[in-house]
Structure 1
């Protein structure tokens, strides 16, 4: 019996095919963007892993992309921002629906301290989400952060330069972000499953903090 015929006789779901998205291990958090959810394993953000958001410039819509998730945080769970390049504008975040009482802003003095702070936040079991801007981090640091996210069952979003896309990373999801005529273009550089052949383009109106 030919191999493809034999495989076709097996129960549905028993065999994974390369053209199918893989199942996301651990919890999954909807992104709030249906077009993006359709391209992600499990239909959302990895809830216990590191996601890398790579861009050549700031302010292309990276916070708008995360806004539906940030709105879900309540006072009993922290959302930790580590070393953002600019001070978050509280009135805009409040107007966008973010609970400012749940926001914890950390400004470590060095890159090493920032990695340490991210690991502590991820391992605290008290965070809804951790956001970290770490332009300088080596492979060992990336592995430690991915492990901390898994062990703490907490999503980590790591903002880095687009040039780092050429470097290997343990993150199961890596997205390249860029502005495209008033919208956010998302190129899926890495995901569990087949390569993405087209970008996801999301409108930015009404969701900028």
Structure 2
């Protein structure tokens, strides 16, 4: 059994991981800022490249797309949207500096074909980011396959779904739960993250990206 002084020495050498901290050897090149300082801080820098992230929604249209706007509006990002619940509003995307010609939308009611489209997009050099809405949530096997493909191609994937059972286990790199009550700010709960423990809900100031007429007064 190691004594406290010995454990502290191992921590200083980077040989012991502390659950509340990200490893010192993580490369900034594989982390994409979320655009929200409060979220970056809790995720160890931001979204992970080569990984599949899950966004669990209390209900649709509570700010999930706004949360991703800083990533979507980065230059030279081609995004594939699979089964979005509504057709993206072109003037709104333009207002957010999102290039319309770099947005590809696929509506496929067959879940197997939709998953196939996601896998093909991850493997394609023409697509940088995949947003995949799946109301019931992907199976463990499907998540594992998609994660393997994302890691091999170093692509970032988001699965947007309904709230999943507490005891659900999937190979997502990160799992966030988004909730919102009336005029209160969007709450983000970190259910799973690499290099750290789950975190309780915290407010994320997504309204700063919205037009003034849509902000809660």
TM-score (structure 1 length as normaliser): 0.89
The secondary structure found in structure 1 opposite 2:128 is strand
Query: Match of 2:80, SS?
Result: strand
Structure 2: any 5+ residue segments left out of the alignment?
212-217
Q: 36, 43, 46: which is aligned to 1:44?
A: 46
Q: Indicate the residue corresponding to 1:124 in structure 2.
A: 124
User: What is the SS of the residue equivalent to 2:160?
Assistant: strand
Report the 3-state secondary structure (helix = DSSP H, G, I; strand = E; otherwise coil) of the residue aligned with 2:17: coil
Q: Distance in 1 between matches of 2:95 and 2:171?
A: 35
Q: Hey, what does 2:190 align to over in structure 1? A: 188
5+ residue gaps, structure 1, are none
Q: Aligned runs of 1:111-150 on 2, under 5 Å? A: 111-136=111-136, 137-150=138-151
> Displacement, 1:147?
1.0
Q: What SS class does the counterpart of residue 9 from structure 1 fall into? A: helix
Deviation by residue 1:114-163 (Cα, 9 ceiling, x = unmatched): 10000000011332211000224322111111111111111000001103
Q: How far apart in 2 are the matches of 1:135 and 1:22?
A: 34
Q: Number of matched residues?
A: 206
Q: Which moved more, 1:97-106 or 1:10-19?
A: 10-19
Q: What residue in structure 2 maps to residue 160 of structure 1?
A: 161
With 116-125 and 164-173 compared, the bigger mean Cα shift is at 164-173
RMSD, aligned CA: 2.1
1:56 aligns with 2:66: no
- Rounded to whole Å, the distance in 1 between the matches of 2:132 and 2:75 is 17
Q: In the alignment, is residue 201 of structure 1 matched against residue 203 of structure 2?
A: yes
Distance 2:2 2:159 in 1: 46
Is 1:80 aligned to residue 80 of structure 2? yes
Q: Matched residues in 2 for 1:182 and 1:101: separation? A: 34
C-alpha separation between the residues in 1 aligned to 2:118 and 2:87? 18
Aligned residue for 2:214? none
Tell me the CA shift for residue 172 of structure 1.
Answer: 1.3
Q: Secondary structure at the match of 1:192?
A: coil
Structure-2-length-normalised TM-score = 0.86
Moved more, 43-52 or 100-109: 100-109
Distance in 1 separating the partners of 2:19 and 2:205: 30
Change (3 A) 1:19 1:182: closer
Check whether the contact 1:186–1:199 (CA below 8 A) recurs between aligned residues: yes
Residues 75-94 of structure 1 deviation map (CA, whole Å, 9 limit, x = unaligned):
xx421101111111111111
CA pair 104-164 structure 1, distance change in 2 beyond 3 A: farther
